Amino acid sequence: MRFYTKRERPLPWSERTRSLARPWTAPFFALEWVSEWLAYFLGNWTFLEVLDHVQAFGVIVAVVFYFSESGDRLKQKHYQAWQVINTSQGKGGNGGRIEALQELNADHVALVGVDLSGGFLQGLHLHQGNLSRANLNAADVRNAVLVDTDFSDANLRFANFRECNCARTSFRGAALDDADFHGASLTAANFDHASFENADLRDTDLRDIHWQQIASVKTTNIAGVRNAPDGFVAWALGNGAVQSPSDPH
């Protein structure tokens, strides 16, 4: 907002030229005198103040419209993210799915039942994501951060979770047959009623996992598991798990 001060009326030309010491400076005096009169008329023109207020009001209106339409912009962003995910179903490669998934999750949008089968999702970050009943069959999710994420009842067969951080992640009722968790952190993960047949758990961190109600660990490789709860290794070996340092796949 500009502050306008009332300008004093400039001197007439006859009085202004009294201070003219050298005739050759007359053109410069004339230019300055004309400028003074122009500034006088414009400075006292109320219409300019009105325009200034209109401009400020326009900024306020633009701000109001921006915030009033924020919900529509958010819906449009979510729609575009889902479009990326849905058009990539059943296809390999990333195809923008990682960014789309992370954007939706950051806005607390549930990803229940999403189809990411065969997708290239290395390095995915989904803190507290909801992917219950999702399909990640044969997906490549290496080095992902999936802390506190819900994969309950999900199809994770043949998925590659190597070196993932799955601390406190829920795999309740999930199908993990032939999944690869080599070197992953599974601290406090929940495996109640999950099926682990022929999975690779070598060198995983199993501190505080929920394991007593695992459905099956037949031929699952538990070689080198770290921080396993008391009784887990003996139970697993007694139910068909194996300890083979070599890669079974």
**234 shares its domain with 154:** yes
Residue 229 falls within a domain, yes or no? yes
Report the pLDDT value the prediction gives residue 11, as an integer from 0 to 100.
Answer: 66
Judge whether 20 lies within some domain: yes
> What tens digit of pLDDT does each residue of 60-113 get?
656 665 555 555 778 888 989 999 998 877 666 666 899 999 999 999 999 999
Check whether residue 56 and residue 171 sit in a common domain. no
236 and 132 in one domain?
yes
Residue 189, Ramachandran bin (φ over 0: left; ψ between -120 and 50: alpha; else beta): beta
- Residue 115, beta-bridge partner list: 135
Are 124 and 241 within one domain? yes
Domain that holds residue 62: 16-68
The model's pLDDT over 148-176, given as tens digits with 9 standing for 90+, comes to 999 999 999 999 999 999 999 999 999 99
In tens, the pLDDT along 24-69 reads: 556 655 677 677 767 666 666 665 565 666 666 666 656 665 555 5
Q: How far apart are CA 46 and CA 51, in angstroms?
A: 9
Same-domain status, 164 and 46: no
- pTM more than 0.75: no
Same-domain check for residues 164 and 245: yes
Q: How many structural domains comprise the chain?
A: 2
